Structure 1
């Protein structure tokens, strides 16, 4: 085995893409199957139009697939960062400075993991094992 196998940044980026995009894809598929009515309700409560909820569905489906594939990774990651920022502000703002009493973890650690993982991909791109690589928008 190559001694640099464990120092492979491109393999690390592939794993990050599969993790961030693959796990977020579950949320997108759930919204596709069961709808976005819960998000529409939150938006209505804020005086915003319900159709905005479909942007979340599109972001969680399309951006996730693009990230997994490594196709336009930076652009898809920007979309995911935006989606997660809005999700945190809409659904988790009241607990943003809280600790979960059951686990001791930050109350918004899961959405922040998605947001920060996608933010890393904004800076790095998809790596060598991506469909689009070596481009400004990879």
Structure 2
């Protein structure tokens, strides 16, 4: 019998991982120069920019596949906290152009990742 809770967890995992994966793929093709610059402007060594591939490629794949899902979701949450702190902190209490929260996308990734940390992968996952 199909378990609605496990199906819901799968949908959440696929949405979180799938949407964030596009950001990682874009950085794979276009580089991390912007992130290197942001890190350097905060006195952080630029080579840490390569960590974005962990947070936006590896971690989303872990979440999508259900392999070490909670660890993958925790990596995504950390990635989003760093992005918010380095690039978006000035928008934390701002409205966007269409009236929503300026950080809707970052907030979505952060809070859904935290939810996945607590929910776990559900039944539909790779065995680990």
**Shorter-normalised TM range:** over 0.9
Given candidates 101, 108, 116, the residue that maps to 1:106 is 101
User: TM-score, normalising length from structure 1?
Assistant: 0.88
Give the match's secondary structure for 1:92. helix
Q: Which runs of 5+ in 1 are unaligned?
A: 134-138
RMSD of the TM alignment (CA)? 1.4
Please state how far the C-alpha of 1:132 moved relative to its aligned partner. Answer: 3.4
User: Structure 1 residue runs of 4+, over 4 Å off?
Assistant: none
Given candidates 32, 35, 39, the residue that maps to 1:39 is 35
Q: Which runs of 5+ in 2 are unaligned?
A: none
Given candidates 67, 70, 75, the residue that maps to 1:74 is 70
Give a deviation string over 1:3-30, Cα, whole Å, max 9, x none.
Answer: xx6x701010000000000000001111
User: TM-score, normalising length from structure 2?
Assistant: 0.95
